């Protein structure tokens, strides 16, 4: 599951099972963008990740690193981001 999908599902769950329509309104995107998020055709922007993390009390640093890893284009970049997350958790 993508980080975008995980974070949106967490937002829904922590607010009593919000609909995609309501989530779209809360985070300021259109229905077509929500569809792209749901189909893993688009990632949340870093700004949206920060906003959602603030709303639901998640660690924004960890979620941003997860997002950047999802968006990484090469294995080396993924490895570096995994290393950062590991160091941050220690």
The pLDDT tens digits of the residues spanning 27-48 come to 999 999 999 999 999 999 999 9
**Is the distance from CB of 55 to CB of 26 less than 8 angstroms?**
yes
DSSP sequence for the chain? --HHHHHHHHHHHHTTS--HHHHHHHHT--HHHHHHHHTTSSPPPHHHHHHHHHHHT--HHHHHHHHHHHH--SHHHHHHHHHHHHHHH-
Report all structural domains of the chain as residue ranges with CATH numbers, in order of start: 3-89 (1.10.260)
Per residue in 52-79, pLDDT tens?
Answer: 999 999 999 999 999 999 999 999 999 9
Is the pTM higher than 0.85? The answer reads yes
Place 90 in a pLDDT band, splitting at 50, 70 and 90. confident
């Amino acid at each position: 599951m993508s980080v975008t999908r995980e974070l949106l599902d967490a937002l829904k769950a922590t607010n009593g099972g919000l609909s995609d329509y309501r989530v779209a309104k809360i985070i300021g995107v259109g229905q077509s963008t929500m569809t792209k998020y749901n189909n893993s055709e688009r990632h949340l922007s870093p700004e949206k990740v920060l906003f959602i993390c603030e709303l639901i009390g998640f660690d924004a640093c960890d979620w941003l690193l997860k997002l950047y890893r999802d968006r990484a284009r090469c294995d080396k970049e993924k490895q570096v981001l995994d290393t950062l997350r590991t160091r941050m958790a220690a």
